[in-house]
A and B are shown apart, each in its own frame.
Chain A
Amino acid sequence: MPADPRQTLPAHPVAAGASPTTEPVAVRVALIVVALAFLALFLVLPLVAVFAEAFRNGVDAYFASFDDPDTWSAVWLTLGVAAIAVPLNVVFGLAASWAVAKHDFRGKSLLVTLIDLPFSVSPVVSGMCYVLLFGAQGYFGHYLQSVGVQIIFAVPGLVLATIFVTFPFVARELIPLMQEQGVSEEEAALSLGAGGWRTFWSVTLPNVRWALLYGVLLCNARAMGEFGAVSVVSGHLRGQTNTVPLQVEILYNDYNFVAAFAVASLLAGLGLVTLVVKSALEWRYADQLASGRRH
């Protein structure tokens, strides 16, 4: 395994004797055990439960669960929604981090707070605000109906809600990193005669590429897994406006528990893949990822 670059000091083997800057072995073991027990109880067990329930009736039943056209259309829909929402948020994240990290202006803190806002807004509210705007009773409802455009309870509504909940993910990855990198490299490129776009493409972007990919991964995982916000704007039309998380709920309510957990395991699998790629990125390119990251 490659060395973890985040670890700034050599590892302390548990067997090592007492040192002034670490704890006695017994304390260490106790702390590790408590931490792991907490993690197992709250985080790992739910994941295990998803797979256990999905395979409850055996492998055949698991695969038979996917023999449902509605499930497949939910998968395609989810992929499609993410395919629109994620690139848009990538463009936004690049623009926002360029403005915030490479420049100084008044109201920056406010701007950063506003970028973060969708992250802490209740998903329920994120869905509802589009209903208030574009629903038949909403501010633009009459106009939309008169021109025959359907936003809520159709794909555009799902895309909007998904963009909203995944809005800060890419920007949040890029801003701290680009802030740390400063502007000296860009300034050098510019003084050598490179234009603005050229500087961006050949200096800034390569510097943040792994953080960008990392942001895309998280953004994508959330986009495909969002439930609350899309539930408000979906209308739950089978085979038409159900994303995968909504399909899980439907199957669950159809008394089709094995299928519900089987489809859920698809999402959990996606989450696991995200984690694996993310961890791999971290181990190899930790120095190129923002250290003070969060979501």
Chain B
Amino acid sequence: MTSSLDATYVAPAAPGAPPSRLKVRMSATPFRTPSAVPGFGLALGFTVLYMSLLVLIPLGAVVAWAASLGPTRLLAILTQTQTLNALKISFGISLAAAATNAVFGLLLAWVLTRYDFPGRRLVDAAVDLPFALPTAVAGIALAAIYAPNGWVGSLLPFKVAYTPLGIFVAMTFIGLPFVVRTVQPVLADVDRELEEASATLGAGRLTTVFRVVFPTLVPALLTGFALAFARAVGEYGSIIFIAGNIPNVSEIAPLLIITKLESFDYAGATAIATIMLAMSFVILLAVNLIEAWSRRRLGHAR
């Protein structure tokens, strides 16, 4: 083992030299920038192998199954009204929920980093509830609260549970921590002197907040938004209990996949799954690009 690690050993960089990470952009031709740290082959090899066996090959099976249908049938399945509507519902409501989370998540992050009030730490911890609470439990609890005879549902003049609004509630529930947790650290790092400078130069508080503080939060906010969105699109456990599951109205794409799977329609299930997979991949790639971009733009301050 040691000998294979030693094989990749390269003399350490001279003191004061920039971290090797930065070198990659200077010479992009070799697959790997030489580094002093050993174990690259073993670590990457294991990572790729484990990931291939447990994630890539299984997901490949979904794509392969869908691909074996041929483009004509694939297109026929995907352009069915029910499929289109399910995708529209999933993506549309996820977008609305992620946008709501962006607004309230930003607000929560602001309140938690900037203000002091009794129980602030408790509130801070509570933000992570959706990470910790199992989705099915959340779904059953949300349905119980927002049903027409539930605590909140009975107070509202309109129906929440068993309507698209119910889907929205569940998606907002699971997505909130993503925005708060991505914005919070960036907000804490914002240089207050900039705000003071802005105020000294005569800008009002609103102007300062919108022109000085918010622009630095945009990448984090976008990341949080995209993550909340990605998670909401795929969510199943918490939604089925509170959505009405009516085709074309409140049937989400993951439920349609399950319905097709359970009526032996593997072709339909894999076709929709493939589209959703492609979407999640694109969203995540976008998130990683935003992060790389903001790291470059803002520098690696921390």
Kindly supply a per-residue 1/0 record for chain B positions 137-148, scoring 1 wherever the CB is within 8 Å of any chain A CB and 0 otherwise: 110111011000
Kindly supply a per-residue 1/0 record for chain B positions 245-286, scoring 1 wherever the CB is within 8 Å of any chain A CB and 0 otherwise: 000000001110110010000100110010011001101110
Whether B140 lies near A252 (C-beta < 8 A) is yes
A272 at interface (Cβ–Cβ under 8 A)? Answer: yes
Once bound together, how far apart are the Cα atoms of A104 and B35, in whole Å? 8
Whether A128 lies near B257 (C-beta < 8 A) is yes
Given contacts A20-B199, A260-B140, A271-B134, contact A111 B234 (CB under 8 A): no
Whether B36 lies near A190 (C-beta < 8 A) is yes
Given contacts A6-B185, A228-B254, A245-B137, contact A123 B234 (CB under 8 A): yes
| Chain A interface bracket (under 10, 10 to 19, 20 to 34, 35 or more) | 35 or more
Whether A163 lies near B121 (C-beta < 8 A) is no
The one of A13, A38, A184, A248 in contact with B137, judged by C-beta atoms closer than 8 angstroms, is: A248
> Which residues does chain B contribute within 8 Å of A182, judged by CB atoms?
19, 21
Interface size of B by Cβ–Cβ distance < 8 Å?
A: 128
> Which residues does chain A contribute within 8 Å of B200, judged by CB atoms?
20
B135 at interface (Cβ–Cβ under 8 A)? Answer: yes
Once bound together, how far apart are the Cα atoms of A2 and B269, in whole Å? 52
Closest chain-A Cβ to B108's Cβ sits at a distance in Å of 5
Within 8 A of A (CB), among B190-221: 192, 195-196, 199-200, 205, 208
> Which residues does chain B contribute within 8 Å of A291, judged by CB atoms?
185, 189, 302
The one of A95, A191, A279 in contact with B47, judged by C-beta atoms closer than 8 angstroms, is: A95
> Which residues does chain A contribute within 8 Å of B253, judged by CB atoms?
122
The one of B141, B184, B269, B288 in contact with A128, judged by C-beta atoms closer than 8 angstroms, is: B269
The one of B33, B117, B184 in contact with A32, judged by C-beta atoms closer than 8 angstroms, is: B117
Closest chain-B Cβ to A160's Cβ sits at a distance in Å of 7
The one of A45, A122, A221, A228 in contact with B233, judged by C-beta atoms closer than 8 angstroms, is: A122
Whether A32 lies near B136 (C-beta < 8 A) is no
A79 at interface (Cβ–Cβ under 8 A)? Answer: no
The one of A14, A122, A274 in contact with B234, judged by C-beta atoms closer than 8 angstroms, is: A122
Once bound together, how far apart are the Cα atoms of A137 and B13, in whole Å? 55
> Which residues does chain B contribute within 8 Å of A129, judged by CB atoms?
58-59, 61-62, 273
> Which residues does chain A contribute within 8 Å of B32, judged by CB atoms?
103-106
| Known contacts A128-B62, A294-B223, then 10 further A-B pairs from the complex at CB < 8 Å, ordered by chain A residue | A44-B126, A113-B285, A114-B51, A115-B47, A184-B19, A190-B9, A197-B1, A267-B137, A271-B134, A275-B125
